[in-house]
A and B are shown apart, each in its own frame.
Chain A
Amino acid sequence: MIGNIITASVFASMIRLATPYLFAALGETLGQRSGVLNLGLDGMMLMGAFFAFYAVFITGSLILGLIAAIIVGGLMGLAMAFISVTLKAEQGISGIGIFLFGLGMSELLFQQWIGTPTTVSGIPDVYIPILSDIPVIGHIFFNHNILVYVAFALVPIMTLVLNKTNFGLMVRAVGQNPEAADAMGVSVTKVRYTTLIIGGILAGLAGASLSIAQINVFQQNLTAGQGFIAVALVYFGGWKPRGVMLGALLFSFVNALQLQISVVGVNIPSEFSAMAPYIITLLALVFASKSREKPDALTKPFERG
């Protein structure tokens, strides 16, 4: 019975399902480390997902789809930066605004430009000689599309950027004590704009990894709150890329398991198993310890003097 449920396929889908969470949550980590809480992540993902899908739908070019997601995500990040950094609006509320904008806009454009649910042929899985052929391991780790590998490669890259570069030092300083960073000649505005734009680009890619790589369709509210889960994963991961990755894997493992249970047809009401991931997230958040890396200035706009 257990053997029927926990199979190599479950682990393979865990890896695949973790991808959008990773993109979104790693971008969010960068933004939060600089002191900005972006609750609009889900809306940014939806916009990225729609434009990636639309570009592929019209041109058939997957590269153009990715470029569209990057540009739209970056613009959404820029909008969030303008509202929360330049206009110093309350971050939680402006994030909800960004989310609702993304939700509504992506649906409107879908209705206007496409109308009926359609599929596109998405990004194919990469066949890696030898590795992909290894039994079990190959199935779990080496039979995915390129975005999956990019997302996981971002984990060490983000760690390196945060801890070993001048930019990372500025990000951490701006998130912990913007007054000190400002007095030392670091532009709080520039740093926060940069982290939010990068976060937006990654959110766009997170959306694309759904609409042109994982499910290859677009529909209203495609993300179904995945962006909000990604925000929670940043807290869960203690603002560290590796912790965020572990959280994303745990969450998608439960997700994959739940899918598998409904496939195998175990006699549990499907609503319960559908709730499971969210309940586990909540519990994990309640018990997650307060991390030393938590940015002190999170959600606080910076005002000089």
Chain B
Amino acid sequence: MAETVLTNKRRIELLEMRGIVKRFPGVLACDQIDFTVKSGEVHTLLGENGAGKSTLMKMLYGLYQPDEGEIRINGKVASIRSPQEAIQSGIGMIHQHFMFVPSLTVAENVALGLKTSFGSMLDLKEISKGLSALSDRYNLKIDPDIPIWQLAVGEQQRVEILRAIYKGADLLILDEPTAVLTPQEVDDLFRILNQMRQDGHALIFISHKLHEVLAISNRITVLRDGAQVGMIDVEEATKQNLAEMMVGRPVVLQYDIPPLERGSVRLELNQVSARSNRGNLGLNDVSLSVYGGEIVGVAGVSGNGQQELAQVIAGLRPIEAGTITVNGQNISGKSPEKMNSLGVSYIPEERMVDGVIKEFTVAENLILQDHWREPFANNGLMLNFNVIQDACRQAIKDYEIKTPSTETPIKSLSGGNIQKLVLARELARNPQVLIAAQPTRGVDIGASEYIHQRILAERETGTAILLISEDLDEIRALSDRIIVMFEGRIVGIVERKDVNIQALGAMMAGVH
């Protein structure tokens, strides 16, 4: 099998999706979408969360069935009813969440599904041989006998790609492949994709990061709210016109940030260590000061201590050593409630878990922390519904939250609107210190822009802001200083004027 994938003869020269319609209860996820990709090109699907990119690709990979429209391979109508049939027709997919069994080895994960007959014995040697041939060709080093869970995220992704090629994928769908990578790893990925393009693979690239889209694509199709906005060649595309097509109105990509007016130290961490959920020191001897009127960005690859950092400051995770002070007052080991009263506001990373109660209404979620206080409750006993309703309506207006009513369960709002509500609640207390963890993850560009403007406005009022994000563009756009975390430690601090993307990437990867 390995031999055939090294030749340039492809089973898929041209793939066409024509007039694709997909409805879910209450939602038109894809509305008459046409999409084509041919051998030797990268065609990007660009759009906000919920624009229909993933739904469209899941139909191509046999995970969903289109309600209308047809898929043609080399001009012939193809019906793809399951991932197995997609793989057989030469379609592979790199999912956003890697499709591995972590306890199995690389070779076993590749073997999975290769033969679905129940009777046969496993031949892992044969697979290892084929993998070696492929990794030589793409200049990757992969040990077939190592369990997946021992590999770094970037390596796991390479295994995903090798596996797809090994299984004979002529067309490869990459669903947000760069979301989990450092800038260097993105460069490596693009090198692999370029070689695949030269080898005659057809590639579908899904992303919402504009500079990456411009760097790798031949053609770009933009989707918005399930509809096709347009298709342009990369030569005609700019960040500005792509962003406008995505959002449907002009978008500010570069913020006007007034010069830094540093106040006094608001938040100080002194040699703080804390355990992660796995029991190791997820946060290791971290010292850090955030001044009033300053935004400190925390960059790093997911899982390097950022979450633990946010949680110790918010009082949600016990600390092993060190002290945390807010305005000079030692708050180590205090409860989240105490933190709130000292003026620490927290926008949690997992807003659906830590930020809101899904089944509660918009109004109830707005008063979650202050429900027992005046004026929301009389004597801390009876809820004062009129006051709550008024406050909620005001927040909806001020923060441009799109909701049918104040009594709508929060879970039926979009990610961006839920995040705006969390923001409204957290900023209503005029915080001294704001911890914003992944404030725009899964939030569309329009709402992201709004949230960024709000955070910048807080900076103007003199709040000390710690911005934790895996989105390096967000960090760079907003931060006065950037600290980089790796394996629970701070490995670098960079001032805004000295930011160099290559150097940041190296620090994120632990090279420093």
Give residues in A with beta carbon < 8 Å to B: 164-170, 172-173, 176-177, 179-187, 194, 292-293, 304-305
Counting CB contacts under 8 A, is B117 at the interface? yes
Complex interface: chain B residues within 8 A of A184 (CB): 83, 87, 99, 112-113
Cβ-defined contact, B101 with A176, below 8 A: yes
CA distance A194 to B93 in the complex (A): 28
Cβ-defined contact, A166 with B104, below 8 A: no
Complex interface: chain B residues within 8 A of A293 (CB): 103
Counting CB contacts under 8 A, is B120 at the interface? yes
Give residues in B with beta carbon < 8 Å to A: 58, 61, 63-64, 82-84, 86-88, 93, 95, 97-104, 108-109, 111-122
Complex interface: chain B residues within 8 A of A183 (CB): 61, 63, 83, 93, 95, 99
How far, in Å, is B404 (CB) from chain A's closest CB? 27
Q: Of A172, A194, A305, which one neighbours B58 at CB under 8 angstroms? A: A305
Complex interface: chain A residues within 8 A of B87 (CB): 184-185
Cβ-defined contact, A182 with B83, below 8 A: yes
Cβ-defined contact, A186 with B112, below 8 A: yes
Cβ-defined contact, A180 with B84, below 8 A: no
Complex interface: chain A residues within 8 A of B88 (CB): 185
CA distance A181 to B113 in the complex (A): 7
Using a Cβ cutoff of 8 Å, how many contacts connect chains A and B?
Answer: 87
Complex interface: chain B residues within 8 A of A169 (CB): 104, 108, 111-112, 122
Interface residues of A, dominant DSSP: helix
Cβ-defined contact, A172 with B101, below 8 A: yes
Complex interface: chain A residues within 8 A of B121 (CB): 164-166
Cβ-defined contact, B108 with A185, below 8 A: no
How far, in Å, is A183 (CB) from chain B's closest CB? 4
CA distance A166 to B99 in the complex (A): 18
CA distance A202 to B112 in the complex (A): 26
How far, in Å, is B90 (CB) from chain A's closest CB? 13
How far, in Å, is A157 (CB) from chain B's closest CB? 13
Cβ-defined contact, A185 with B116, below 8 A: yes
CA distance A55 to B61 in the complex (A): 50
Cβ-defined contact, B116 with A187, below 8 A: yes
Complex interface: chain B residues within 8 A of A181 (CB): 101, 112-113
Q: Of A166, A177, A194, A304, which one neighbours B111 at CB under 8 angstroms? A: A166
CA distance A164 to B104 in the complex (A): 13
Cβ-defined contact, A166 with B118, below 8 A: yes
Given contacts A172-B104, A173-B112, contact A194 B99 (CB under 8 A): no
Chain A residue nearest to B118 in the complex (CB): A167
10 contacts across the A-B interface (CB closer than 8 A): A165-B119, A166-B111, A166-B118, A166-B119, A169-B112, A169-B122, A176-B101, A181-B101, A182-B83, A185-B88
